[in-house]
Amino acid sequence: MTIVNRVPQAVNEFNGGSYAGAGRPPRSRRRALRSALTPWYFLAPVLAYLLLFFGYPIVKNVEMGFQDYSTSTFYTGVAPWVGFANYSQVFHSGIFTTALTNTAVFTIGSITGQFVLGLALAVFFKRKFPLNGVLRSLFLLPWLIPLIASSAVWKWILDQDSGVLNQTLLNLHLIHTPIPWLSSPSVALLAVMIVNIWLGIPFNLTILYSGLQAIPAEQYEAGALDGATGWKAFWYITLPNLRPVIGIVLMLGVVYTLKVLDIILGLTGGGPANATQTLATESYQQSFTQFQFGQGAALSNILIVISLVFTMFYLRSQRAQTGA
């Protein structure tokens, strides 16, 4: 995205798709045409794939949102046009408000936790000490493990009776009765959020750490002369310099959290009593357990609009950052 705008004339020579460089004599029109097409031969597979596996699904989803698309459609091939019926059913279903609220709480809570812990760890790892690099790469492991495998072990850790979390809390006398982490509607969302924070720390740590590395040391040296050390240095030097990176981390975090399906299905399946149902899980439930593909599509479309709003913020901040 960036270099396109920065690379000067030299690259423009290659606009025609020929490498022959400056002073290339025009051989024949056919040859020129052929070389102008060359870049598109290389791009053709990806364009075809994007059209079929992103373009088509998005268009199809919009269409399905306006259709009565259910099990019978697969037998009869008929999906009657129903206007906004799917949307009005979704809005009036009662679950929608719950799912929307849960999505907001889950997203804001997860992002806050991941970001604060990720930033604290990034600042910690900025110091030079033995084993720093090794420990930092070990931190990445939870991010690489399949989400459903992580959900499995967390489901057991959070188990009310035999889970190690409750046992530890009981042994430390912090609680007197085991907490039903995943089976009580009042704490289930919090429990799922804790797991998602754990999953998001590596991502936040990695990006924020590389952001910190990019801040020139002279700024801290100059700041120290003016008495800006410790918290003051963090507040007046680190944070302002880190702002563009923070923006990217937060916006990517939001978009990634909106999509979360694996860990919620693995840990709670959206329950108990819809306490952990989000827009993503509800869309899945409508389509793949209720076989109401029309309503599932309507929910998908709402989800995609929310994601796109944040994506646009992200793209704009990227552009602002690279000075394009």
Partner 1 sequence: MKRTHLGKYLYTALGIFFTAMMLFPVYWMVNASLQSGASAANTSLVPDHPTVAAYSRAFSEQLGNLGTSLLIGLGTVALTLVIAAPAAYSLAMFRVRGSRLITVALLIAQMIPGVVIANSLYPAYASLGLLNNIPGLVLADATTSVPFAVLILRTFMEAIPLALIEAARIDGASHFRAFISVVLPISRNAVITAGLFSFLFAWSDFIFALTLTTTNSVRPITLGIYSYLSAAVQNWGPVLATSVIASVPAIILLVLAQRRIAAGAFGGAVK
Does position 322 interact with partner 1 (CB under 8 A)? The reply is: yes
Does position 124 interact with partner 1 (CB under 8 A)? The reply is: yes
Residues 194-230 as b/e (b if ≥16 CB within 10 A, e otherwise) read bbbbbbbbbbbbbbbbebbeebeeebeeebeeeebee
Of 167 and 236, which CB lies nearer to partner 1 in the complex structure?
167
Of 138 and 226, which CB lies nearer to partner 1 in the complex structure?
138
Among 3, 172, 174, 217, binds partner 1 (CB under 8 A): 3
Among 33, 50, 104, 175, binds partner 1 (CB under 8 A): 50
Task: Yes or no: say if 299 and 282 are a contact pair by the CB < 8 Å rule.
Answer: yes
Of 58 and 222, which CB lies nearer to partner 1 in the complex structure?
58
* Interface segment toward partner 1; rule CB under 8 A; list 6-14, 93-101, 106-114, 181-189: 6-14
Q: What are phi and psi of 81, to 5 degrees?
A: -75, 125
Give the whole-angstrom CA distance, residue 315 versus residue 79. Answer: 37
Give the whole-angstrom CA distance, residue 70 versus residue 77. Answer: 10
CB of 62 to partner 1, least distance (A): 9
What character string, x for contact with partner 1 (CB under 8 A) and - otherwise, covers 196-215?
--x--xxx--xx--x-----
What 3-state class would DSSP assign to 81? strand
Question: What residues from 81 to 120 belong to the interface with partner 1 (CB under 8 A)?
Answer: none
What character string, x for contact with partner 1 (CB under 8 A) and - otherwise, covers 11-30?
xx-xx-x-xxx---------
Task: Yes or no: say if 251 and 243 are a contact pair by the CB < 8 Å rule.
Answer: no
Residue 216 C-beta-side C-alpha neighbours within 13 Å: 4
CB of 248 to partner 1, least distance (A): 6
Among 33, 47, 116, 239, binds partner 1 (CB under 8 A): 47
Give the whole-angstrom CA distance, residue 255 versus residue 281. Answer: 15
Does position 234 interact with partner 1 (CB under 8 A)? The reply is: no
Give the whole-angstrom CA distance, residue 266 versus residue 158. Answer: 13
Question: What residues from 302 to 321 belong to the interface with partner 1 (CB under 8 A)?
Answer: 303-304, 307-308, 310-311, 314-315, 318
Does position 71 interact with partner 1 (CB under 8 A)? The reply is: no
Give the whole-angstrom CA distance, residue 151 versus residue 195. Answer: 8
Instruction: Go through the chain and tell me how many residues it has.
Output: 324
Question: What residues from 147 to 176 belong to the interface with partner 1 (CB under 8 A)?
Answer: 147-157, 161-162, 164, 167
Of 94 and 130, which CB lies nearer to partner 1 in the complex structure?
130
